[in-house]
Every structure is written in structure tokens, then in C-alpha cells.
Structure 1
Amino acid sequence: MPTSPSTGSVSRPFDLLVVDDDSGDVLLIEEALADRHISHRLHTAGDGIDALRFLRESDQRRPDLILLDLNMPRMNGREFLAEVKSDPDLRPIPIVVLSTSTIDEDVAASYALRANAYVTKPVDFDDFISTVQCIDNFYLGTVRLPGHS
């Protein structure tokens, strides 16, 4: 059983849901997490519809964190964010928007829809890996989440 980096105590693996239609970015996220000393179970969805299906219909444990891209087909990140944060059962799950967009309106709209954080995807490989690891370290290493001692 893995240990919690902040306390050294035994804890269950962290579940992450990555909602992104770019398979290259998903692979980079997987690579960034593989370098960590925290046990992760990574789940992926290519759009908001598949992600909602996972959250509502899956027998899997709810994710501890959702990494969300904004620009996807069918149901985009804004629509997904609005849906999740309007559902009292899903609302507590932290959502970090991880998008290539640097448009102020996208940032403001994401926070208005109750995103927990907005991070711009770096273009540089090393910066991308470092950014994902910083998000991971903060949300799954520093922050106390329900179900983790």
C-alpha cells in the first residue's frame, strides 16, 4: 500500500480522471505521473459525455481529481464543468482546467463555473511534465482530500 507523501501514513491509490481528446497530451500526463512516488489510477475520457458517463454510471471509485481540457468534441470542457459543479454529488471533486487557451474570457468563465484552478498547458515538453507534476504534488500531495488520511 502506498504512503502519503505529506504524512508518511498508509493511504489508498489516488484516482485521476483526465478529460482530454488529445491522446498526445494524455500520454504526456501519464508520463509525468509515472515519475511520481504516489500510486495513481488514471482514467481517461475523450469528451465531457464520456466523462459524465464514467462519473455517473461506472462502478469505479470517484476520482480524487479531474484534469479537464476545454476544447473537445460533443460536450466541451465548459459544458462538462457546468454539469459537474451543478450536481451536489459530483461538486466536491476538484477540477483543474488544463488548457492551451490563454484567453482571459476562458479563464474567467472557468472560474465562474467553479473550476478549482486554471493552468495553461505549456508547449515545451519539460515544462509540460513539470506543470503536471506540480498539479499532482499540490492536489494529491499537499491538499487533504476525502478518503485519504
Structure 2
Amino acid sequence: MRRIAAVSGYRDQQQKRLDDLKAQAGNATRTHLAHQERFELLEGLKTQYGFSTGNQVSAILMKGTVRFRGQLESLSVMQKQEMALSEIELRSVNERVVSQHRQVKMCEKVIEKRLTAINQKKAKSEQKMMDELAMQASFRRRLCR
């Protein structure tokens, strides 16, 4: 039973670690989704700032719009990099969650095996005692006849 208590304590520690990793995975997911939304927003802005043919546009407006589109392009590239990094982080955290989950399940299986062995040992001992009592009762009946 001491072994089971020790393994149970270890399992509880591993479960707490798993819960912490799940929280990190949730944060990483939210971060990744935020990066995706920003990237899509920047891509949408790039398409909004274009020149239609046939309209007269001043050189200053055209120059400013081209500069702004260049800045949007730079921001878009940086956001795409941020999105890729957040995706890598998300995958890494998810892999750690899976690994930690395996660790917790392994501890649970060890505990289950040990409890099963203890219960089998108890059952065997009880059966042995019942057999002995039955033999003694049978022996007493024979003596009393």
C-alpha cells in the first residue's frame, strides 16, 4: 500500500503538470488564432488600397498610398512570421501535453495493477481461510457422529 501511495503522489504531481500544460496549450491556441486574425486583416487592408483605372489621382496621394501599401506588406510579412512561430509553439505544447498525458496514464495503470495484485492476494488469502474453516467444520461433523 505504501508503494501505491507513493505512485499516487507521483501521479498527482504529473496530473497537475498536465493541467498546467493544458492551460499553456489553450493560451498558445488563442495566441495563434489572434495572429491569424491580424494576418487576415492586413491582407484585407492591402486589397482595399488600390487604384482603379480611369480615376485621376494626385501624385501625392498615389505616393502616400504606395508607401502605405509597402508598410502593410512589411507588416503582413512580419505577421506571417509571428503566425508561423506561434504555430510551432502550439505544436510543441500539444506534443508535451500528449507526452504528459501518457505519463499520467502510465501511473494510473501501475496503480491499477498493484491494486489488482493486492485484491487477488486478499481474495486468495480469504479463500484459503474459508477452505480451512470448511475443513475444520467437516472434521468436527465427522467427530460428532
Shared fold by TM > 0.5?
no
More strand by share: 1
More helix by share: 2
Q: 1 or 2 for the larger relative contact order (CA 8 Å, sep ≥6)?
A: 2
TM-score (norm 1): 0.19
